[in-house]
Amino acid sequence: MADEAKENAESMMQEIQKKITDAFDVFDHESNKTVDVREVGTIIRSLGCCPSEAELHDILADIEEEEPTGYIKFEKFLPTMTHILLERRYKPATEDVLLKAFKVLDSQNNGHLTEEELVKYMTEEGEPFTQEEMLEMLSAAVDPDSKNIMYKDFVPLMTIEET
Query: Could you report the per-residue pLDDT of 99-150, keeping only the tens digit for each?
Result: 999 999 999 999 999 999 999 999 888 888 888 889 988 998 999 999 999 9
Q: How far is CA 110 from CA 40, 52, 93, 141, 150, in A?
A: 39, 30, 23, 16, 9
Q: Residue 72 and residue 35: Cα distance in Å, rounded?
A: 5
The DSSP result for 43-103, as a single string, is: HHHHTT----HHHHHHHHHHHS-SS--SEEEHHHHHHHHHHHHHHT-SPPPPHHHHHHHHH
For 38-66, the pLDDT digits (tens) are 999 999 999 999 998 899 999 999 999 88
Distance CA(35)–CA(73), nearest Å, equals 7
At position 4, the amino acid (one-letter code) is E
Residue 10, CA distances (Å) to 3, 4, 17, 75, 110 in order: 10, 10, 10, 19, 51
User: Max CA-CA distance within the chain?
Assistant: 60
Asked whether the whole model's pTM tops 0.75, one would answer: no
